[in-house]
Homo-oligomer: A and B are copies of this chain.
């Protein structure tokens, strides 16, 4: 029997209370990756009733053990047999993998929450941040896209402003951590750092060559996140922020001006964003602070003179988006500056995907398998 389907095997499935308790059969794709590991963690903390959990990886990692709700599970490869035996797929796999499989799962009746960019801009696929546009989860599409990490924290911070006073224009410069690129990137940064520090203060260049990034990331700020394609002077990451933000905020006619500069910095985890926002009608810094304080998924940390503002090292492992340094920009009417920080692996990836799953559950859209 294929181990993926063997719900009695303790090595690759997880039950909640045995076969008579209703719960979902969930598969997590890319389960050993940086985002996938975090999905297992956040899913483990969630109240979502899960009957079986199948961790899926690329063929070369099959058998790798991952932990879910305290139990070790062995990873399996994607296989035809899995298609009919899950109710929910959360995919942290690469776009190429999920592009092939998503429709098969969906056709078989499972919901697919996909973290890749494969489906995000499809007109038929909702692109969802549950705090921002839960209404997009109608069930009409079984495939649901989760946005890019840098987009998620931006829209969580800006959507309350957009709903209240309207947003005319967003200018964002990012300070993105390496963990979004994966575990190899964290390792590359660490090896370069150690090499340079060991060589002494005067040395800027590491003898550890860049493999994951186009240039050395240690002690550097790389004004390239993702790639330049087709002569576009904006990177694919910068275009994602533009397009995804518009889709999530429901700006079909492109009324909101958005300009992004995406920069990779030698930070392990959590992205920071310097955001300048122009609103349609006035919103003071005080009003903005109050508004965001009462908005979902946000924490306002804004007592700068006391040294309190959002920071990457504080956001790590947190599910909220942190916003601070909220201040009026006197260079133009109706403009505010904000500093927005979020854990790119939690709210920027895993947490958002799990929150989508929870929203599907609470709207009774997910089918429940009774074992």
A residues with CB within 8 A of B: 169-171, 173, 175, 177, 183, 186-187, 190, 193-194, 197, 201, 204-205, 214-216, 219-224, 228-229, 231, 233-235, 257-259, 261, 263, 265-269, 272, 274, 276, 285, 304-305, 307, 309-313, 316, 324-332, 335, 337, 339
Q: Hey, which chain B residues are within 8 Å of A233, CB to CB?
A: 285, 304, 325-328
Q: Give the residue of B201, B216, B259, B312 whose beta carbon is less than 8 angstroms from that of A219.
A: B312
Cross-chain contact A307 with B259 (CB below 8 angstroms): no
Cross-chain contact B257 with A332 (CB below 8 angstroms): yes
Residues of B within 8 A of A339 (CB): 223, 261
Q: Which residues of B contact A261 (CB under 8 A)?
A: 173, 274, 325, 337, 339
Give Cα distance in the complex from A324 to B221, angstroms. Answer: 13
Contact B312 A220 (CB under 8 A): yes
A268→B201 contact, CB < 8 A: yes
CB of B313 within 8 A of CB of A228, answer no
Q: How many copies of this kind of chain does the complex include?
A: 2
Q: Decide: B272 and A221 in contact? CB cutoff 8 A.
A: yes
**16 residue pairs A–B, Cβ–Cβ below 8 Å:** A171-B276, A175-B263, A187-B201, A201-B268, A204-B268, A219-B313, A221-B272, A233-B327, A233-B328, A257-B330, A257-B331, A257-B332, A259-B276, A259-B329, A265-B266, A266-B267
Q: For A228, list chain B residues within 8 Å (CB).
A: 304-305
Neighbouring B residues of A259 by C-beta, 8 Å = 276, 329-331, 335, 337
CA distance A307 to B229 in the complex (A): 12
Contact for A311 among B220, B231, B268, CB less than 8 A: B220
Contacts of A330 in B (CB 8 A): 257, 259
